């Protein structure tokens, strides 16, 4: 154990403890106190050398409650940055419940990435689930409450699967160490599934676009940063090099693109695009080489910042106008020019425009995928990159801030929100322009240069020509119009499909059941009557028979059995 | 269709400027491809103009398939409240 930890023994503890004690802080001081907490946590991490480990013996189990290495530290750094930006963004929102939930949520996610054993991971895993749901419920709407319940059920299911997997793993290996697990390890498949739910694997993803757009303006910023990136970290720690993940990630990168194009709610567009970016990271984990894992870590780092920036920009629009629907927005650059600029920086980053952060980190992953010989997966990632420009790079800033003038005139976003967006935008540009700053904190030595002429040229071609396709389609009126609507996703199965199947059964099977019951009741009654007739009081078999006649019948039966045995 | 495009992009002169400017940029960047030696781990990555054609086709495919998807899954906003 290192003796140089200045403040709290556990990473993330400053935020969790600060969040729980926040109600005791005078209202006027809560903002400054909240701002200090991630700074203290970040200082703690800076003082925490890689290779540090802290173990505790609890109930006969040895738990490595803190394990700091290159992989956990980069996630720890960016989680602190995200918490800091989120807190600045939310300074205007004086809702104690949200403030406590956000701090505990951020702190538990940080604690989870430093967990060296599976049981500690499980505890933090559940704490992120329980604390984060309050950021959805804090919207105080019926729809948000229901979405929060669905979100909580899915997150708790993930936690339960993780717990069962951990128990099976411990029974077989007598170890709780959280290192490389692999699908074939005892309990590995269940742990993989638990991580997959939180990482929004295909068909397990619906909780994300269902819940995040229902969260509060500031809650969505926090939600976008922690849960899914914690899952990416867990996959990188436990399942790096699992080839199955390459195809899972490639599907994650491609399938949500189509939903993002037709979606009207811009925060839901960002939710689908979040899954696309997770797909890149999951592919990196699946490839599993040092370059690929560096790419996953770098992409997670950059993505946390620019995705938070995009959620902040659209959140600011929602805060000022009361809507985040593209069909009700347009022309807002006149009212919110700075927010529009920051949104465009986020859009350029997610579209991997050279000199923005997404370009650097995506290049790591696509190069590693190609080097490993996964040509089809590489092509799918290229498709997702082209799509990213269409559904976020152009669509989100264009439909919100430019395009058709909706006539909405509002004030620019509050200063605290602008400061947070400005910092997020600056960090996205700095990473894009000086990627060497990021290389220093990557888990493995990075000797990769994304700024080769061939790569820059290829990326510019991809982006410019997909933009050309957008303009042509828009001019022709073939780009899907934004109309107030929702799009059914796979969660339709349990939100409508299964209840309808049950109603169908109730409607058609119930009468048959009742008819069956009445028919069987009749048969039963007749059988009882028959028994009553022959064995009931006063019936023939219930009479008292003389002993002689009993002996006579026994003799008759014996004679019959003799005859049968002879023949 | 044209009215809608003008409504979305602003005045028709602006639409034309955006379109022709983008087309010029595309042609220049495509021309640059022929002066640049391309290498890659994926066989088709080195083809001249591959990323240009792929980007354009990907844009078309995404939008056209999205149209079909909307017909399949698009519903009224109150679908789940009904």
Residue B12: the pLDDT is 61
Residue A438 and residue A301 in contact, taking contact as beta carbons nearer than 8 Å: yes
The token pair at A350 is 């997610």
Q: Is the pLDDT of residue A548 over 80?
A: no
Residue A164: the pLDDT is 96
Q: Is the pLDDT of residue A542 over 80?
A: no
Q: Count CB-CB contacts under 10 A for residue A18.
A: 24
- A387 contacts on B by Cβ (under 8 Å): 58, 62
Residue from the list A262, A404, A458 with its beta carbon closest to the beta carbon of B70 = A262
Q: Say yes or no for a CB contact (<8 Å) between A261 and B62.
A: yes
- Our CA-based measurement puts residue A416 at a distance from the nearest CA of chain B, in whole angstroms, of 32
Residue A106 and residue A83 in contact, taking contact as beta carbons nearer than 8 Å: yes
Residue A240: the pLDDT is 96
- A403 contacts on B by Cβ (under 8 Å): 8-9
How far is the CA of A185 from the CAs of A169, A192, A198, in angstroms? Answer: 7, 10, 20
**DSSP code string of A26-70:** -GGGHHHHHHHHHHHHHHHHHTS-TT-EEEEEETTEEEEEEE--H
The token pair at A20 is 């729980």
Cα-to-chain-centroid distance, residue B75: 26
Interface test with B, best of A144, A147, A381, A465 (most B CBs within 10 A): A465
Residue from the list B2, B41, B51 with its beta carbon closest to the beta carbon of A461 = B51
Query: How far is A338 from A397, CA to CA, in rounded Å?
Result: 12
Query: How far is A347 from A396, CA to CA, in rounded Å?
Result: 8
Mean pLDDT over A406-434 rounds to 94
Q: How many CB pairs under 8 A join A and B?
A: 166
Q: Say yes or no for a CB contact (<8 Å) between A473 and B79.
A: no
- B25 contacts on A by Cβ (under 8 Å): 464
Between the ranges A141-150, A526-535, B31-40, where is the mean pLDDT highest?
A141-150
Q: Is the pLDDT of residue A1 over 50?
A: no
Residue A511: the pLDDT is 80
| Residue A483 pLDDT grade (very low, low, confident, very high; cuts 50, 70, 90) | confident
Query: How far is A260 from A270, CA to CA, in rounded Å?
Result: 8
SS3 category, B41 = coil
| Residue B77 pLDDT grade (very low, low, confident, very high; cuts 50, 70, 90) | confident
| pLDDT tens-place string over residues A459-474 | 999 999 999 999 898 8
SS (H, E, C) A140-161: CCHHHHHHHHHHHHHHHHHHHH
Q: Say yes or no for a CB contact (<8 Å) between A487 and B8.
A: no
How far is the CA of A385 from the CAs of A350, A453, A460, B52, B61, in angstroms? Answer: 9, 18, 11, 13, 13
- B20 contacts on A by Cβ (under 8 Å): none
Backbone torsion region of residue A164, taken as left when φ is above 0, otherwise alpha when ψ lies between -120 and 50, otherwise beta: alpha
| Residue A518 pLDDT grade (very low, low, confident, very high; cuts 50, 70, 90) | confident
Q: Which residues share a beta bridge with A432?
A: none
| Residue A531 pLDDT grade (very low, low, confident, very high; cuts 50, 70, 90) | confident
| pLDDT tens-place string over residues A153-169 | 999 999 999 999 999 99
Q: Which residues share a beta bridge with A64?
A: A55
Mean pLDDT over A311-335 rounds to 93
Burial class (CB in 10 A: 0-12, 13-18, 19+), A434: exposed
> What is the sign of the dihedral through the CA atoms of A24, A25, A30 and A32?
negative
CA diameter of chain A: 116
B48 to chain A: closest CA residue: A458
- DSSP letter for A413, please: P
**DSSP code string of A475-495:** HHT-SPP--S-EE--TTHIII
Q: Say yes or no for a CB contact (<8 Å) between A454 and B63.
A: no
| pLDDT tens-place string over residues A169-178 | 999 999 999 9
Residue B35: the pLDDT is 83
Q: Say yes or no for a CB contact (<8 Å) between B66 and A480.
A: yes
- A379 contacts on B by Cβ (under 8 Å): 42
Query: How far is A397 from A402, CA to CA, in rounded Å?
Result: 7
Residue from the list A257, A387, A471 with its beta carbon closest to the beta carbon of B22 = A471
| Residue A312 pLDDT grade (very low, low, confident, very high; cuts 50, 70, 90) | very high
Q: Say yes or no for a CB contact (<8 Å) between A454 and B39.
A: yes
| Residue A217 pLDDT grade (very low, low, confident, very high; cuts 50, 70, 90) | very high
Q: Say yes or no for a CB contact (<8 Å) between A475 and B29.
A: no
- B60 contacts on A by Cβ (under 8 Å): 469, 473
Q: Say yes or no for a CB contact (<8 Å) between A478 and B80.
A: no
Q: Say yes or no for a CB contact (<8 Å) between A462 and B51.
A: yes
Q: Is the pLDDT of residue A335 over 60?
A: yes
- A447-453's contacts with Cβ under 8 Å and 24+ in sequence apart are A448/A291, A448/A294, A448/A363, A448/A364, A448/A367, A450/A359, A450/A360, A450/A363, A450/A364, A450/A367, A451/A354, A453/B36
Residue from the list A454, A475, A488 with its beta carbon closest to the beta carbon of B36 = A454
A383 to chain B: closest CA residue: B58
User: What proportion of chain A, given as a percentage, has pLDDT over 70?
Assistant: 98
User: Tokens 């990630």, residue?
Assistant: A249
The token pair at B71 is 């017909």
Q: Say yes or no for a CB contact (<8 Å) between A496 and B80.
A: yes
Residue A365 and residue A282 in contact, taking contact as beta carbons nearer than 8 Å: no
- Our CA-based measurement puts residue A483 at a distance from the nearest CA of chain B, in whole angstroms, of 9
Mean pLDDT of chain A: 91
Query: How far is A156 from A149, CA to CA, in rounded Å?
Result: 10
> For A483, how many CA atoms within 13 A lie in the half-sphere containing its CB?
12
B63 to chain A: closest CA residue: A479
User: What proportion of chain A, given as a percentage, has pLDDT over 90?
Assistant: 69
Helix (H) or strand (E) holding A212: none
Higher pLDDT, A266 or A448: A266
Burial class (CB in 10 A: 0-12, 13-18, 19+), A508: exposed
- B66 contacts on A by Cβ (under 8 Å): 258, 261-262, 480
Q: Say yes or no for a CB contact (<8 Å) between B59 and A477.
A: no
| Residue A123 pLDDT grade (very low, low, confident, very high; cuts 50, 70, 90) | very high
Beta-strand pair A486-487/B74-75: antiparallel
Residue A404: the pLDDT is 80
The token pair at A1 is 């154990």
Residue A567: the pLDDT is 61
Higher pLDDT, A69 or A520: A69
Q: Say yes or no for a CB contact (<8 Å) between A458 and B38.
A: yes
Higher pLDDT, A70 or A479: A70
Backbone torsion region of residue A442, taken as left when φ is above 0, otherwise alpha when ψ lies between -120 and 50, otherwise beta: beta
Lowest mean pLDDT among A121-130, A291-300, A466-475, B34-43: B34-43
ipTM computed for the complex: 0.87
Q: Say yes or no for a CB contact (<8 Å) between B62 and A387.
A: yes
Predicted structure pTM score: 0.87
A142 to chain B: closest CA residue: B81
- B17 contacts on A by Cβ (under 8 Å): none
Residue B11: the pLDDT is 55
The token pair at A303 is 């993505």
Residue A89 and residue A420 in contact, taking contact as beta carbons nearer than 8 Å: yes
Q: Say yes or no for a CB contact (<8 Å) between B74 and A262.
A: yes
Residue A494: the pLDDT is 87
Beta-strand pair A53-58/A61-67: antiparallel
- B37 contacts on A by Cβ (under 8 Å): 454
Residue A5: the pLDDT is 47
Residue A558: the pLDDT is 85
Mean pLDDT over B28-34 rounds to 89
How far is the CA of A44 from the CAs of A2, A6, A302, A441, in angstroms? Answer: 12, 7, 22, 16
Q: Say yes or no for a CB contact (<8 Å) between A464 and B54.
A: no
Query: How far is A362 from A195, CA to CA, in rounded Å?
Result: 22
């Amino acid at each position: 154990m290192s003796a140089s930890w200045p403040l709290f023994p556990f990473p993330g503890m400053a935020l969790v403890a600060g969040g729980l004690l926040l109600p005791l802080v005078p209202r006027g001081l809560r903002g400054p106190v909240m701002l200090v907490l991630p700074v203290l946590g970040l200082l703690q991490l800076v003082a925490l050398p890689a290779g540090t480990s802290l173990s505790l013996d609890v109930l006969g189990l040895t738990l490595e409650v803190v394990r700091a290495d290159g992989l956990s530290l980069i996630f720890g750094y960016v989680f602190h940055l995200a918490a800091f930006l989120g807190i600045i963004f939310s300074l205007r929102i004086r809702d104690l419940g949200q403030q406590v939930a956000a701090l505990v949520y951020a702190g538990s996610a940080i604690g989870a990435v430093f967990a060296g054993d599976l049981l500690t991971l499980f505890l933090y895993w559940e704490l992120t689930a329980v604390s984060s749901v309050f950021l959805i419920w804090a919207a105080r709407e019926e729809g948000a409450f229901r979405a929060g319940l669905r979100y909580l059920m899915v997150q708790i299911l993930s936690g339960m699967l993780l717990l069962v997997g951990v128990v099976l793993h411990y029974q077989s290996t007598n170890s709780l160490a959280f290192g490389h697990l692999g699908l074939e390890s005892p309990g590995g498949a269940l742990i993989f599934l638990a991580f997959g739910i939180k990482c929004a694997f295909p068909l397990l993803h619906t909780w994300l676009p269902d819940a995040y757009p229902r969260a509060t303006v500031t809650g969505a910023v926090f939600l976008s940063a922690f849960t899914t990136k914690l899952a990416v970290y867990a996959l990188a720690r436990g399942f790096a090099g699992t080839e199955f993940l390459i195809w899972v990630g490639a599907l994650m990168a491609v399938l949500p693109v189509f939903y993002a194009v037709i979606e009207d709610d811009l925060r839901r567009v960002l939710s689908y695009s979040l899954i696309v970016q997770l797909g890149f990271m999951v592919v990196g984990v699946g490839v599993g080489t040092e370059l690929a894992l560096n790419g996953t870590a770098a992409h997670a780092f950059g993505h946390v910042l620019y995705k938070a920036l995009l959620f902040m920009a659209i959140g600011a629009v929602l805060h000022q106008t009361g809507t985040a629907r593209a069909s009700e927005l347009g022309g807002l650059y006149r009212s919110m020019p700075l927010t529009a600029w920051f949104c465009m920086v986020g859009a350029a980053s997610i579209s991997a425009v050279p000199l923005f952060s997404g370009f650097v980190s995506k290049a790591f992953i696509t190069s590693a995928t190609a080097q490993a010989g996964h040509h089809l997966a590489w092509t799918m990632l290229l498709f997702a990159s082209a799509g990213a420009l269409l559904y976020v790079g152009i669509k989100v800033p264009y439909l919100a801030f430019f395009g058709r003038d909706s006539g909405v005139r509002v004030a620019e976003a509050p200063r605290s929100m602008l400061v947070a967006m400005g910092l997020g935008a600056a960090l996205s540009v700095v990473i894009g322009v000086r990627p060497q700053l990021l290389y220093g904190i990557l888990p493995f030595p990075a000797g990769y240069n994304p700024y080769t002429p061939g790569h820059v040229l290829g990326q510019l071609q991809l982006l410019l020509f997909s933009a050309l396709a957008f303009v042509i389609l828009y001019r022709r009126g073939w780009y899907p119009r934004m109309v107030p609507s929702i799009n059914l996703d796979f969660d339709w199965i349990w939100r409508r499909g299964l209840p309808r199947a049950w109603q169908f059964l109730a409607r058609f099977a119930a009468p048959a059941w009742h008819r069956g019951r009445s028919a069987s009741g009749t048969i039963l009654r007749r059988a009882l009557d028959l028994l009553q007739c022959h064995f009931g009081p006063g019936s023939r078999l219930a009479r008292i028979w003389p002993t002689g006649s009993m002996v006579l019948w026994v003799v008759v039966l014996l004679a019959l059995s003799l005859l049968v045995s002879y023949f | 269709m044209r009215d809608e495009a003008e409504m979305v992009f602003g005045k028709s002169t602006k639409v034309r400027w955006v379109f022709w400017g983008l087309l010029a940029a595309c042609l220049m960047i495509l021309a640059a491809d022929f002066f640049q030696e391309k290498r890659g781990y994926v066989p088709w990555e080195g083809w001249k103009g591959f990323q240009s054609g792929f980007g354009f086709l990907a844009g078309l495919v995404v939008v056209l398939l999205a149209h079909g998807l909307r017909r399949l899954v698009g519903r009224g906003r109150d679908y789940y409240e009904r």
